[in-house]
Protein backbone atom coordinates (compact mmCIF):
# COMPACT_ATOMS: atom_id res chain seq x y z
CA UNK A 1 0.00 0.00 0.00
CA UNK A 2 1.05 3.59 -0.54
CA UNK A 3 0.05 7.23 -0.41
CA UNK A 4 -0.37 8.79 -3.85
CA UNK A 5 -1.26 12.38 -4.71
CA UNK A 6 -1.30 14.44 -7.89
CA UNK A 7 -0.76 18.21 -7.68
CA UNK A 8 -2.81 19.85 -10.43
CA UNK A 9 -3.28 23.41 -11.66
CA UNK A 10 -7.06 23.83 -12.00
CA UNK A 11 -6.74 26.98 -14.12
CA UNK A 12 -4.85 25.00 -16.80
CA UNK A 13 -7.23 22.09 -17.42
CA UNK A 14 -5.94 20.29 -14.31
CA UNK A 15 -2.40 20.15 -15.67
CA UNK A 16 -0.29 17.94 -13.41
CA UNK A 17 2.55 20.04 -11.99
CA UNK A 18 3.82 17.50 -9.48
CA UNK A 19 3.07 14.38 -7.51
CA UNK A 20 3.66 12.92 -4.10
CA UNK A 21 4.27 9.26 -3.43
CA UNK A 22 5.09 7.46 -0.20
CA UNK A 23 5.75 3.77 -0.63
CA UNK A 24 8.18 1.17 -1.82
CA UNK A 25 10.42 1.79 -4.82
CA UNK A 26 9.53 5.49 -4.87
CA UNK A 27 12.45 6.44 -7.11
CA UNK A 28 11.48 3.95 -9.79
CA UNK A 29 7.83 4.92 -9.73
CA UNK A 30 8.31 8.69 -9.69
CA UNK A 31 10.87 8.57 -12.51
CA UNK A 32 8.28 6.97 -14.77
CA UNK A 33 5.64 9.58 -14.01
CA UNK A 34 8.16 12.42 -14.35
CA UNK A 35 8.07 11.93 -18.12
CA UNK A 36 4.29 12.44 -18.19
CA UNK A 37 4.54 15.55 -16.00
CA UNK A 38 7.31 16.98 -18.14
CA UNK A 39 5.27 16.44 -21.30
CA UNK A 40 2.33 18.39 -19.83
CA UNK A 41 -0.04 15.60 -18.83
CA UNK A 42 -3.39 16.57 -17.34
CA UNK A 43 -5.43 14.72 -14.71
CA UNK A 44 -7.62 13.35 -17.52
CA UNK A 45 -4.55 11.70 -19.06
CA UNK A 46 -3.88 9.87 -15.80
CA UNK A 47 -7.58 8.94 -15.51
CA UNK A 48 -7.64 7.39 -18.98
CA UNK A 49 -4.56 5.28 -18.32
CA UNK A 50 -5.10 1.60 -17.57
CA UNK A 51 -3.24 0.84 -14.37
CA UNK A 52 -1.14 -2.29 -14.05
CA UNK A 53 -2.78 -4.45 -11.37
CA UNK A 54 -1.76 -5.09 -8.67
CA UNK A 55 0.82 -2.31 -8.32
CA UNK A 56 1.14 0.83 -6.25
CA UNK A 57 1.50 2.84 -9.48
CA UNK A 58 -2.10 2.09 -10.44
CA UNK A 59 -3.23 4.36 -7.61
CA UNK A 60 -2.38 7.36 -9.82
CA UNK A 61 -4.93 6.21 -12.41
CA UNK A 62 -7.84 6.07 -9.97
CA UNK A 63 -7.43 9.18 -7.82
CA UNK A 64 -10.75 10.93 -7.25
CA UNK A 65 -10.68 12.78 -3.91
CA UNK A 66 -9.82 16.46 -4.06
CA UNK A 67 -8.58 18.63 -1.22
CA UNK A 68 -11.67 20.82 -1.51
CA UNK A 69 -14.09 17.88 -1.27
CA UNK A 70 -13.50 17.50 2.45
CA UNK A 71 -13.42 13.71 2.10
CA UNK A 72 -10.74 11.71 3.84
CA UNK A 73 -7.92 10.86 1.47
CA UNK A 74 -7.15 7.70 3.42
CA UNK A 75 -8.37 4.78 1.36
CA UNK A 76 -9.13 1.40 2.82
CA UNK A 77 -7.90 -1.85 1.42
CA UNK A 78 -5.07 -2.74 -0.87
CA UNK A 79 -4.45 -2.11 -4.55
CA UNK A 80 -1.83 0.57 -4.13
CA UNK A 81 -3.93 2.75 -1.86
CA UNK A 82 -6.96 2.48 -4.14
CA UNK A 83 -10.48 1.65 -3.09
CA UNK A 84 -10.68 -1.90 -4.39
CA UNK A 85 -9.88 -3.80 -1.21
The whole-angstrom separation of Cα 21 and Cα 45 is 18
For the annotated catalytic residues, the residue numbers are 53
Amino acid sequence: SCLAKLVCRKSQNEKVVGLHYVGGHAGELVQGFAVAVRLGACKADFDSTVGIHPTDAEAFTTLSITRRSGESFVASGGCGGGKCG
